[in-house]
Amino acid sequence: MSQVRLTASQRAAGSVSKQLFLGPLTYRARAWECAARAQVLSDPEQRLEFLRLAGMWLSLTEPIEDDPAGAYEVPPKTAA
């Protein structure tokens, strides 16, 4: 059996997939954890990936603009 390598984002999100709703305080805790991990990494690409994850976790703590329901979710990606 071959070993499967996971990306930083897959490792950070792995335990989250089993939970339906975490809530803003848990999202902030996950963001803090990602930022702390980024500080100890020497590889700039991995560090950037964890900082991006931290930003995504923090974005989940704020309601989406123009959403009357005020749902907590990731906004859709826009073309660069």
Tell me: pLDDT of 80 over 90.
Answer: no
Q: pTM for the complete prediction? A: 0.54
pLDDT of 16 strictly over 70: no
Is the pLDDT higher at 32 or at 79?
Answer: 32
**In this predicted model, which residue has the larger pLDDT, 1 or 76?**
76
Q: Phi-psi category of 23—alpha, beta or left, where left has phi over 0 and alpha has psi -120 to 50?
A: left
The Cα–Cα gap between 77 and 6 comes to 23
The encoded tokens of residue 77 equal 């990606």
Q: Is 31 within 8 Å of 54 (Cβ atoms)? A: yes
The alpha carbon torsion through 75, 45, 50, 4 (nearest 10 deg) reads 100
> What whole-number distance in Å separates Cα of residue 58 and Cα of residue 29?
9
Residue 14 has what pLDDT?
Answer: 56
pLDDT digits (tens, 9 = 90+) for 21-52: 667 888 899 999 999 999 999 999 999 999 99
